[in-house]
Each structure stands twice: as structure tokens, then as C-alpha cells.
Structure 1
Amino acid sequence: MTKKTLSLSKRGSTTPASEEGRKAPLRPGARGHIRPPQPRTGETKAAAPVVQPRSLSISGIQQFFAPSPRGLEQLLADELGAIGAGGVRVVDGGVAFSGDWSLVYKANLHSRIASRILWRLDERAYRNESDLFRMAGRIAWSELFDVHRTIKVSVTAQRSPLRSVDFAALKIKDAVCDVFRAATGERPSVDTAVPDVRLHLFLTDRVATLYMDTSGEPLFKRGHRVETVDAPLRENLAAGLLQLAGWHGQEALLDPMCGSGTFVLEAAGIALKRAPGRDRSFGFEKLAPFQVDVWQAIRAEARAQELTSLPYPIVGSDRDAMSLDAARSNVRAAGLESLVTLKLADVLDAEAPADSGCLIANPPYGVRLEDQEALANFYPHLGDALKRSFSGWRAYFFTGDLRLPKLIRLSASRRLPLYNGALECRLYEFQVVAGSNR
């Protein structure tokens, strides 16, 4: 699957994604210039027929789709079902589901696994870009958001016969602007960096599906991260790994390679029953169907369920002082400095904060250690440290280095295939027993 986003810098002007941010339009024929498909010799380009836009009601059952990290789809399906989603269907890369409009608010607020919550506006067979233009032209966009809101169109295509997904995005944008101009005499501007309204077009070989993004910024952005480190783990992936590790806040937790604190922040949120979206805003707040009273009631209900103390310790440590400073800043921004313990320590010297619990880490795999030889020397010492200090604990390592179980000299009780973006990884589980290699 490939994903390309049309970049538009001004009303009515376009630049290809590789030139995002530049203001000057490219001249025809220049490298990167988006060329619409040209008619063959002897053909005439037919004008798209005018279609009367239709209103989309938010009453009744609506159709949604929530993309997620690959490998976590079933966890997401269970999560959505628990908050009232119906028609839950797992597909590769996400979950389709249905429900009333209030489910938009609940899913955005409560989902720890989803990347976005997309509202399905239309789905039709298509053969060319004109079909896409007609599909988008059928929707009364001025009833969904104000003309002064900025927009962005993204396209994901899988086996699509179209020659340019950028041109497909341009046709969707043109249709939206034409509908607005006919209804209001104005057209919305485009913002590729921080748009108010995001539209997503998904193309298969025969079917086009048009969604409106109700989340705005991706849901893994919880709203409290102020510092980061190189190659940080995304929050929704970390939350999924904690669930796969069977951790639900009823035992001690340690991340001995905590970096900027993603695991400990997600763990604390789970243990305190905090909704992951409690500290951020969402795209649906900028849409015309937004029901502020319903949203406030749902947020208030979520706040009422929160706990104020932790029955078990949550500890993060790292040998890198700059990473630990970033973790402290993030923990402080989340208001968790009195509940999460952070220490400057090497993983090989880590001590268990309780008699039993869950150790989880995203160890280096050729990124933070200089080379593969250094990793090969490091892993046996890691296995020794686990046996020495963590007898009775469950240890989980999420890594793209598939040599880890052999080199750590421990027998993995589970090996779960997952992905970190496009990188194939494994979540390895080790039941630690003192004084034994296997």
C-alpha cells in the first residue's frame, strides 16, 4: 500500500508533495509537475456532469474506520466493542465499525490503539478521476464545515489503475471547492501542515471510499509529550504492547531503557484509568455536526472514572541523562511526577522495584548502540542481569533484532510478530527463573 498526500499551498495553486512548503508554482513540464491524464488521439475530454449535492445526516447509524499499527487490529476491535461499537470487522491495518455519532467522541477519547477515527462519507465503484470528482461533488460540504476552515486531502491507493494519486487528490479538492463556491460564493483554503479538516480517499482496484477524519492530529499524540528522543515508540503501539504483555495496572512495572518515557506514561494512564485523549483537542470539534453538550458530558463521565493513586510502582530508568531529562519533562507535563519514578541507571545494574511484576523495554537494535557486534556482546549480559535481579518477573522485549533470544541465552515463551511502522519486529516474552539459562 502506498500513501501520498497532495500538497496545496494557496487557493487554486498546487505543488507536488516533494515540493511541499514552496510557494512558487511549477511551470508545466518541470520535474514534479502534476500532469492530468491526457486524452488519446481522436478523443475529446468529456465534462463531468453536474450533480446536486446531498445532505449527510449524523442521525442514525454511521460507518467508521479506525487504522491501527499492524498486528494490533484485534486489540483495537475489542477496545471499540467495549465502548459500544457495532458491526466490528477486523481488516489488515485497522477495524471497520458502526455506531451513532456520539461514538465518534467516545472512540477518539478512549481508544489507546487507534491511529485515527475516520467517518465514511461515501463509497462507490470508479474507473477514472472524473468518477472521483463526481463522488466528492455529491456531498453538501458546506453543511459539514465552514468555508473558512482549511482543508487537506490524502490518498491511499492499493492496486489502483489511476496513473497519479496526486491528481486524484486534486480532483477531490476541486469538487469540494466547487460545491462550496456554488453554495456560498467562496471556497476553502488548503493547509498541508495543520489543516482544520482532513479528508482521506482510499482506492482499491475498483472501489473508492471517501472519509472525513474526526481526530485531527493522529491519536497517538496524547497531548502531553513535550520532549522526544531519536526514533521514539509511538504511544498507541506502546499501549498495545503493554496489553499484549498482560499488564493492566495490577502489578509493578519497569522499563529499564525508558528513553523519553513512552511505556511508563502509557502504563500510568492505564493504571489510573485515564482516557488517553483527556489532554488534547480533536478534529470533530471543528465540524458543523459537533454537539458540544454531548461531548462535555462524555468527557466529564471519563474524568469521574479516574483514580488518583497507584497501588504498584511504575518505574523507568535509562543510562542516558538527556533521554531521562526528556522523560522527566513528559511525565511532568502529564501531571504524573508524583506517581512515576525515574532513575538514571544502566539496564545491566537495574534492580527490581517489587518481588514480581512486568519488565518491558524497546532495546536498541543497531540504532542507539554503534554496531551489531556491540549488540552481540550486550545481549548475554542482559540475560545475566535478568536472571540475577528479576527472578519471578515476566520480561518483554520489543525489537527488530531477531537475534535477541539466541544471544540473550534465555528461552522465549512467546514470540509475537508485529510492526513498528514498516519495520518487522517481534515482542518476545521471557519467564525469568534465577540461575537457569533455559
Structure 2
Amino acid sequence: MKEKFKLVATVAAGLEAVVGKEIRNLGINCQIANGKVFFDGSVEVIARTNLWLRAADRVKIVVGEFPARTFEELFQGVFTLDWENYLPLGAKFPISKAKCVKSKLHNEPSVQAISKKAVAKKLQKYFHRPEGVPLQETGAEFKIEVSILKDKATIMIDTTGASLFKRGYRTEKGGAPIKENMAAAIIELSNWFPDKPFIDPTCGSGTFCIEAAMIGMNIAPGFNRDFAFEAWPWVDKELVQRVRDEAENQANYDIELDISGFDIDGRMVEIAKKNAAEAGLSDVIKLKQMRLQDLKTDKINGVIISNPPYGERMLDDKAVDILYNEMGQTFAPLKTWSKFILTSDENFEKKYGSQADKKRKLYNGTLRVDLYQYYGQRVKRNLS
């Protein structure tokens, strides 16, 4: 099997630079493209990136790229790739996904069927199996993906399994929750550091607070879950365990963090408490039922991150307008605090009552949203 792979981390539009920074922080060189970050590495790098990337969706192996303007070109291109270096005899190899954009080939089920046939034919030839006799697919699963963009095919194998946002701590979720990887990315885009107070005044199921605590304690986001590649027979289980043990040793469970989450909905606060307990962070995060208007604090230099109800998440527009207005009034006295508010409402600044210092376009699933960024006045803290 291969020693080194061409790899790609897939990522939501607008978060490519965040994931690029995470990969570089792991000591890996990378190149950023639209919705993707490319890098090279061994099985150890596959393990490390799956375990540590907070803002990415998945990590995939790029098996090959080639032009595919016809089904014959697609078949030959897939057939030519070195499948024997990835798929052992008996492997399951579903073509789990085909995506065609701005391409002559646009019938996705046909792209899947032809790609499957080409891989099967290559393996039959390599393993000297008679043609016409189907391969037994009883072993480990290797999910293959075919992406054709402007007549260029990219063939990949997913190493992750369930998307990286599935950390394993969410016992229940409320209406339209923010994904864990999007929450982590927004915290990384903010100017929060673990020595600053952190508040989410519309905490819902607690995702921002939990992600902040994991960042603050340097807990690997994938620590509590398994990945697809771990079932592959050529992956060294001891190596993966070593990467997991290293991650465990890098966590700082003794650091003092000041993280609070509030929500007007008592049921959501209970869900947030359950999720925090599942993540092992009950004693780290303060969660309480409270109206946004009642938020007051004497602390300085903190960070507020909020994903308030908006658009599809709340049917009553008038209630949203009132909430945004109250938010502006409640946050105004907190001069040294930075505020980061995620919403799809294009008139947010008007309703909030002041213009953001910076606005960043993001996508929460398919919904276009903006991250409104208000920076607090800097005050030197008395550290004595």
C-alpha cells in the first residue's frame, strides 16, 4: 500500500483560510482552493487531520484527476488509476457520491455506474479474477467519490466517515442548530483567547460554549469518535492509537476558563447541560436560563458570540426585529467586549443600531449568512 497520499480537506465556503491555518498549525504545508485545502501526507497525517481539524467537513484521499468529456474517457481514466494500492481483495467499494458541475457529463447515476465498473475491472485484472464473475465485497468499506467540474474528473476516497462536525457529544439539538465545525470556525475567526471571558447569550444546545471549551483546553475535536480509515486493513492500528494518545497528552484539563451560555428557553438550557456533560465539560461551562436583556457584567475584554434566531429559524419577523434591537442596547455598555453575531438578516445593523467593524460572508448549510464583527476597545488588564 502507499506510503504517501495526496489529500484534501473539504470545507464550507468562506472557511478555507481557517482550515488552512489549522493544517499549518499541525506542521503540514497546504494549498487553499475554493471549498478545499490540499496537502500531502502519510497514514499518520490522515489520522492527525481527522482528529484535530475543527472547521473542516471531511478528509479525503485524491486517487487521481483527469479530463472526462465522455463516458469512455471517464471509464478509461478511472481504470488507469492505481486502485491496487488502496483496495485490498474483498474490499467494499461503493461509489457513494457523484457530483457533476458545468460538465458535458451530467447524469450522476451513470457516472457512478461507469466508475464502479471501471474500478471492478481494474481489480479483477490485478487480482487475476475471471471477468464476468462479480468481486466479493465482504471486507472493509472504501467510499469512493467522483467529482466532475468543467469536464475534469477528481476521484477520491473518503477517510472520515460521518462528517467531522459530528463530534459525538450532541445528545439532542434544538431547532436549526449551528454545526459544530462552523461554531469552531467562528470562534477561531474571533479574537477570543482562553484567558478572556466568553459568553453566548443565545446558547441553544450549547455548541459555541462546548467548542470554545474544547479549543481552550486543546482537546482534539475528533477525540470522542471513530473514522472510516481506522477499519482499513492496511492502516497500522498502533500508529493511530499513538496519535490518539499524543492528542490526549496535549489536552490541558487544568486551565481555568470563563465560559457562560444563556438562553431564554429553559428546555434548551437543559439540552445544553446534557451535551456539555457528554463532552465531559459540565464543570467548565456555566449554563443558565436567562433573557438576553438581563445580560450584565463588570468583566472586561470578553468576547460575545451569538447565533440568534433568524430567517428560517423564527417565523415572527417582528420578534426578530425586537430581539436585534434589544441585543444592540444590551451589548452597548460592554465597551471592551468584542461581539460576533451570525445572521442571515441583511438589515441586521440597522435593527441592532450600529454598523459592524467587519462583515464576513459564510454559509450555514445552504443558507447564506453574515458574521457581523464588532471589536471592543482595548483595555490593559491588571494582571497583578
Q: Do the structures match in fold with TM over 0.5?
A: yes
Instruction: Give CA deviations for 1:368-425 in whole Å, capped at 9, x if unaligned.
Output: 433222222222221111124x332111101111211111112311111222122221
Contact 1:216 1:282 in 2 (8 A): yes
Map residues 242-257 of structure 1 onto 2, 5 A cutoff. Answer: 242-257=187-202
Q: Distance in 2 between matches of 1:367 and 1:123?
A: 39
1:210 aligned onto 2:152: no
Q: Which deviates more, 318-327 or 145-154?
A: 145-154
Q: Distance in 2 between matches of 1:206 and 1:366?
A: 37
Map residues 41-52 of structure 1 onto 2, 5 A cutoff. Answer: none
Contact 2:101 2:148 in 1 (8 A): yes
Instruction: Give CA deviations for 1:58-79 in whole Å, capped at 9, x if unaligned.
Output: 22x4211111111110111111
- For 1:197, what is the secondary structure of its paired residue? coil
Residue 54 (structure 2) aligned to one of 109, 112, 121:
112
Evaluate the alpha carbon distance shift between residue 265 and residue 146 of structure 1 in structure 2; reply closer, same or farther with a 3 A threshold.
farther
In the TM superposition, residue 239 of structure 1 has moved relative to its aligned partner by 0.8
Q: Distance in 1 between matches of 2:291 and 2:376?
A: 19
Q: Distance in 2 between matches of 1:188 and 1:313?
A: 55
Map residues 225-374 of structure 1 onto 2, 5 A cutoff. Answer: 225-352=170-297, 354-374=299-319
Residue 135 (structure 2) aligned to one of 187, 209, 219:
187
Specify the alignment match of 1:140 in structure 2. Answer: 83
Contact 2:43 2:235 in 1 (8 A): no
Gaps of 5+ in 2: 378-384
- For 1:270, what is the secondary structure of its paired residue? helix
Contact 1:248 1:270 in 2 (8 A): no
Evaluate the alpha carbon distance shift between residue 146 and residue 350 of structure 1 in structure 2; reply closer, same or farther with a 3 A threshold.
farther
Residue 393 (structure 1) aligned to one of 313, 329, 337:
337
- For 2:143, what is the secondary structure of its paired residue? strand
Q: Which deviates more, 419-428 or 114-123?
A: 419-428
In the TM superposition, residue 201 of structure 1 has moved relative to its aligned partner by 0.9
Q: Distance in 2 between matches of 1:68 and 1:146?
A: 32
- Give TM-score scaled by structure 1 length: 0.79
1:219 aligned onto 2:164: yes
Instruction: Give CA deviations for 1:120-151 in whole Å, capped at 9, x if unaligned.
Output: 11111222223222333344358524626463
Contact 1:252 1:353 in 2 (8 A): no
Contact 1:75 1:240 in 2 (8 A): yes
* Percent of pairs with identical residues: 28
Specify the alignment match of 1:408 in structure 2. Answer: 352
Specify the alignment match of 2:19 in structure 1. Answer: 76
Specify the alignment match of 2:113 in structure 1. Answer: 170
Instruction: Give CA deviations for 1:307-346 in whole Å, capped at 9, x if unaligned.
Output: 1134231111111122222211111111111111110111
In the TM superposition, residue 430 of structure 1 has moved relative to its aligned partner by 2.0
- For 2:311, what is the secondary structure of its paired residue? coil
Residue 64 (structure 2) aligned to one of 97, 122, 133:
122
Specify the alignment match of 1:161 in structure 2. Answer: 104
Q: Distance in 2 between matches of 1:328 and 1:180?
A: 50
- Give TM-score scaled by structure 2 length: 0.90
1:85 aligned onto 2:85: no
Higher gyration radius (CA): 1
- For 2:220, what is the secondary structure of its paired residue? coil
Specify the alignment match of 2:369 in structure 1. Answer: 425
Q: Distance in 2 between matches of 1:353 and 1:237?
A: 29
In the TM superposition, residue 359 of structure 1 has moved relative to its aligned partner by 0.5
User: Which amino acid in structure 1 is aligned with residue 319 of structure 2?
Assistant: A
Q: Distance in 2 between matches of 1:121 and 1:188?
A: 22
Q: Distance in 1 between matches of 2:275 and 2:173?
A: 8
In the TM superposition, residue 215 of structure 1 has moved relative to its aligned partner by 0.7
- For 1:119, what is the secondary structure of its paired residue? strand
Q: Distance in 1 between matches of 2:40 and 2:361?
A: 28
- For 2:12, what is the secondary structure of its paired residue? coil
Contact 1:156 1:202 in 2 (8 A): yes
Gaps of 5+ in 1: 1-56, 434-438
Specify the alignment match of 1:31 in structure 2. Answer: none
Specify the alignment match of 1:131 in structure 2. Answer: 73
Evaluate the alpha carbon distance shift between residue 228 and residue 254 of structure 1 in structure 2; reply closer, same or farther with a 3 A threshold.
same
Q: Distance in 2 between matches of 1:329 and 1:145?
A: 42
Instruction: Give CA deviations for 1:341-362 in whole Å, capped at 9, x if unaligned.
Output: 1101111112338333100010
Evaluate the alpha carbon distance shift between residue 143 and residue 95 of structure 1 in structure 2; reply closer, same or farther with a 3 A threshold.
closer
In the TM superposition, residue 99 of structure 1 has moved relative to its aligned partner by 2.4
Instruction: Give CA deviations for 1:241-271 in whole Å, capped at 9, x if unaligned.
Output: 0011122322111101111111011101000
Q: Which deviates more, 357-366 or 172-181?
A: 172-181
